[in-house]
Structure 1
Amino acid sequence: MSGAAGRVVALSRSGEHRFSKAPTDSVRLLEGLGVEGDAHLGTTVQHLSRVAVDPTQPNLRQVHLIHRQLLEELLEQGFALRPGDLGENVLTEGLDLLGMPVGTRLALGEAEVELTGLRNPCAQIERFRPGLLARVLGRDARGRVVRKAGVMAVVRRGGMVRRGDAVVTQLPPLPHHPLERV
């Protein structure tokens, strides 16, 4: 999978803490901080529920990425969603984001991010569209929780990212560890 290539389909950001983000043609990623102009920018946690628990926690959720296949799957189940609706910053295609290990690096345009874990779907998704939470949070055949609402990353190299940019993966050294909720 190292060197696997995908593409940036859409980009979104919001300067306010709200569920969905507004689409944009490009974003600037700031090293160690996140998406310029986004409410989740910072070295420490910015998600309000996490700030309430411990505002000094490191921000492992600087950039939220979702694979286009999820939106297509949800459309087949009756949920027509647009880029940014689920609060993601980057919508990709051609990559199995959920199957990548912790520490995978993604070169996005001029920038590079490192995957830290899975987005943990919460009640906000259900408030946004009733019935949606059950579609992005389920269980596999062995009863383990399956989170499909995207992955989270930190910015390792800042730079511009534009719609249509290639996404190139670099796997971390072995042993690989699966993504877990963060």
Structure 2
Amino acid sequence: MSGTVTVVSSNETYTFTKPNRQSVTLLAGLGVDGDVHAGVTVKHRSRIAQDPTQPNLRQVHLMHEELFDELRTAGFEVAPGDLGENITTRGIDLLGLPVGTLLHLGDEAVVEVTGLRNPCLQIDNFRSGLLKQVVGRDEEGHVVRKAGIMSVVAVGGVVRPGDRVEVELPTEPHRPLERV
């Protein structure tokens, strides 16, 4: 299973969106070099308020570009980086990957998938009604989160648009993604 990196984004300050870049450098055990969410312990404000010593399982946020196609069909113009993701991909069912999947990005970098992004109300501040598009319920009433996945950096390296993404599944039994 493989896909492509389409856009990379980072921001050194706390804002909802992240500017697109020509490349980002992933640092093992930390995240995206220069990004506000990089670090060994949690960097998201709500997580810091709960317990600032928690490990940072949200070092790199990946989102599938196909979501933007879906949102456009629903009447929302959303572009890569707008929802705060670091790496936008195409051609991989990110939401269907199990916990522990390794994503090989470009020539060197490897991230380990930790879970689903839990979208917050800031999404509605960005575009009114958007939260209902990225969080919903399936036929059985289970919550479905579509706003990407979170990961930690296992091996550092530079990631650029156009880089190949190779998926390495963990050994079975696979554990489905849950919010982190």
Identify whether the pair has TM-score above 0.5, normalized to the shorter chain: yes
Deviation for aligned residue 1:156: 0.1
RMSD: 0.4
Which structure 2 segments of 5+ residues have no match?
A: none
Corresponding residue for residue 123 of structure 1: 121
| 1:61 match: secondary structure | coil
Alignment pair present for 1:113 and 2:92: no
Corresponding residue for residue 173 of structure 2: 175
Deviation for aligned residue 1:83: 1.1
Cα distance in 2 between the residues matched to 1:154 and 1:100? 15
Alignment pair present for 1:54 and 2:51: yes
Cα distance in 2 between the residues matched to 1:62 and 1:70? 21
Deviation for aligned residue 1:16: 0.5
Deviation for aligned residue 1:26: 0.4
Deviation for aligned residue 1:17: 1.0
How do residues 24-173 of structure 1 correspond to structure 2 at under 5 angstroms? 24-109=21-106, 110-173=108-171
Question: What percent of counterpart residues are identical?
Answer: 61
Aligned AA for 1:161? Answer: V
Corresponding residue for residue 19 of structure 1: 16
Cα distance in 2 between the residues matched to 1:11 and 1:160? 10
TM-score by length of structure 2 reads: 0.99
Deviating above 3 A after TM superposition, structure 1's stretches of 4 or more consecutive aligned residues are none
Corresponding residue for residue 8 of structure 1: 5
| 2:173 match: secondary structure | coil
Q: Deviations over 1:102-156 (max 9, x none)?
A: 0000000120000000000110111111000000000000000000000000000
| 1:115 match: secondary structure | strand
Deviation for aligned residue 1:30: 0.1
Cα distance in 2 between the residues matched to 1:5 and 1:25? 21
TM-score by length of structure 1 reads: 0.98
Cα distance in 2 between the residues matched to 1:83 and 1:174? 32
Deviation for aligned residue 1:25: 1.1
Deviation for aligned residue 1:167: 0.0
Aligned AA for 2:41? Answer: T
Cα distance in 2 between the residues matched to 1:171 and 1:17? 33
Cα distance in 2 between the residues matched to 1:175 and 1:17? 38
Which structure 1 segments of 5+ residues have no match?
A: none
Aligned AA for 2:114? Answer: T
